[in-house]
A and B are shown apart, each in its own frame.
Chain A
Amino acid sequence: MNTTLPNAKEIRERAADWLQRRNFWNWSEADQAELDAWLAQSPSHRTAYLRVEAAWENTGRLSALRSIRPAPRPAPKNRRALPLLMGVAAAAAIAAVVGSSSISTWFGPEVKTYATKIGGHEILKLADGSEIELNTDTVLRTSIDAHERKVWLDRGEAYFQVKHDEKRPFIVLAGNDRVIDLGTKFTVRREPHRLQVAVMEGRVQLQSKTASGKEHSVALARGDVVVSAGGALPVVKKSETQLEKDIAWRSGELVFEGATLADAAREFNRYNTDKIVVAGTGVATLTIGGKFAKNDIAAFAELAQHVLGLRVERAGNIIVITR
């Protein structure tokens, strides 16, 4: 037991400083090691960092306000924005236009924002004939004019079927990464500090700015899967059947084959407000397989209970799986 209290102000300032360094400036492996060491120093450091990080991740939803409120000028009262946003929240899992306005004087062409809730899945048809399918808990913005088609993936995952146009490149931007379509079908999945691109058809170019500000670029063809996490861009080749499993969400399914319980739980948690927690020695690394409806946590819990012989307990919206 500590006999002296932690200095919350100092620790929280330090935690926020780490977070802003990590998110806004060059970030090297040495920096990460330094941060890891700081976090491991004390549970006060760890919890302060988790706290500020969780709040900041939460503010990702603010990006939905972007097109409504031109940013550099603080608009003190914007009453119009609110009902529009709340309307969206109420309108179930509709990939609604969250906001759209003519702010061409600030940012060029009109920017439209689309969002799905947890468990949502919507198809967005663009005027140029391209289609974007938004997976669960996704926010993206589009900006399309005669010269360029731009999509910002602010969070979540989307499947793109792009109508190729030599004169109008189709670019998906996500943090330090940009995916340039060369006529194709592909998925982009964004998580904190990690981006995954998988190509189902055709070719794309992935450009990624690393921590040190260096640009990496890789050309991807059908079956290529790449994970960008601020470093080199290792490409993995996947078979067609493997790829189909990864995009089974398009038909409302989750397909696992030799997935660890922890990974499977993480997938389910993306689609459901009920959350699975896997706890206990050796439980997380058990492997499972099978096809599930993406919202059928009950089937997953049953499998854990009856096939793997684990204990399943529910507490509120948390389902705990243990030995």
Chain B
Amino acid sequence: MGDTPENGRETADLRRSTGMSEEGLNGWFVREVLPLEAALMQFLRRSWPNKSDIDDLAQEVYARVYESAREKIPQPVKPFVFTIARNLLIDRVRHEQVVPIEAVADLETLGVAVDAPGPDRNVMAQDELRRLQAALEKLPPRCREVVVLGRIEGLSGKEISQRLGIGASTVSEHLATGMNALADLLFGDEAELGRKS
């Protein structure tokens, strides 16, 4: 194990940050932070009046969480993520004045949201195939077809293009759209819809 090619890269990453290796950080983010997305989205939707900002806000929360974790892995994770979300909303209100203060007047009480039910990891594991299947069903038909050929049949982009008689760039678009839609369905609060109680 000691002679794997990853070692060099890891050492380089360690030099760059004071915390864990980049690989460890990425793994932590995927395991600990992404599963909170449904709860985070619910929190943002409840707390922020401008619904078209929600995805951008979530994205900014992720960026801030990731940057902070570079210095030190926060524990426990969930209150940390929600504190960042809350501070972000306060920032937005104060500095950008994008919404009247009253709209988020209950910000001070938002601490409760930290205990909002998030996705239970065991439930996620058990229901994973079911949710994946449900997510797949929700893709637009042509997009689903491309994703199925790529993911389940293991065809390359070129092979998909030949099989369906569509251009490479169209295949690329469908794949990218499908990948993002699956990420939303798997992590976002819409995932609740595809999950049995």
Binding site for B on A (CB under 8 A): 1-3, 5-9, 11-13, 16-17, 19-21, 23-25, 42-44, 46-48, 50-52, 54-56, 58-66, 69, 71-72, 74, 76, 81-82, 85-86, 89, 152, 175, 227, 229, 236, 256-260, 262-264, 267, 275, 277-282, 284-285, 287, 313, 315-318, 320
Also in contact, A61 and B153, with CB within 8 A (given A8-B59, A21-B172, A285-B10) = no
Most buried by B among A56, A66, A227, A317: A56
Chain B residues numbered 17-35 whose CB sits less than 8 Å from any CB in chain A: 18-21, 23-24, 26-32, 34
Q: Are A44 and B137 in contact (CB under 8 A)?
A: no
Chain A contacts of B186 at CB under 8 A?
Answer: 55, 58
Q: Are B14 and A278 in contact (CB under 8 A)?
A: no
Q: Are B11 and A285 in contact (CB under 8 A)?
A: yes
Q: Are A13 and B180 in contact (CB under 8 A)?
A: yes
Chain B residues touching A, majority SS: helix
Q: List 25 A-B contacts (CB under 8 A).
A: A2-B60, A3-B96, A8-B55, A13-B176, A16-B175, A16-B179, A19-B179, A23-B150, A25-B158, A46-B66, A47-B29, A47-B62, A50-B29, A62-B136, A62-B151, A63-B152, A65-B133, A71-B152, A72-B163, A82-B130, A278-B21, A281-B14, A285-B14, A317-B121, A320-B75
Q: Which of A5, A175, A236 contacts B57 (CB 8 A)?
A: A5
Q: Are B60 and A63 in contact (CB under 8 A)?
A: no
Interface residues on B, range: 35 or more
Bound complex: CA A243 to CA B15 (Å): 32
Q: Are B176 and A20 in contact (CB under 8 A)?
A: yes
Chain A residue with the shortest CB-CB distance to B160: A24
| A-contact 0/1 string along B108-123, CB 8 Å cutoff | 0000000000000100
**Is B144 at the interface (CB under 8 A from chain A)?**
yes
Q: Are A47 and B66 in contact (CB under 8 A)?
A: yes
Also in contact, A267 and B172, with CB within 8 A (given A71-B152, A82-B130, A279-B19) = no
**Is B167 at the interface (CB under 8 A from chain A)?**
no
Bound complex: CA A85 to CA B129 (Å): 8
**Is B197 at the interface (CB under 8 A from chain A)?**
no
Bound complex: CA A65 to CA B20 (Å): 37
Instruction: Quote the shortest CB–CB distance from B13 to chain A (angstroms).
Output: 9
Closest 3 CB pairs of A and B: A24-B157, A55-B183, A8-B59
Q: Are A5 and B56 in contact (CB under 8 A)?
A: yes
Q: Are A320 and B73 in contact (CB under 8 A)?
A: yes
Also in contact, A262 and B24, with CB within 8 A (given A17-B172, A51-B187) = yes
Bound complex: CA A89 to CA B133 (Å): 15
Bound complex: CA A109 to CA B49 (Å): 56
**Is B165 at the interface (CB under 8 A from chain A)?**
no
Also in contact, A281 and B180, with CB within 8 A (given A72-B145, A267-B1) = no
Q: Are B175 and A24 in contact (CB under 8 A)?
A: yes
Bound complex: CA A9 to CA B187 (Å): 15
Bound complex: CA A236 to CA B137 (Å): 45
Chain A residue with the shortest CB-CB distance to B18: A281
Chain A contacts of B157 at CB under 8 A?
Answer: 20, 24-25
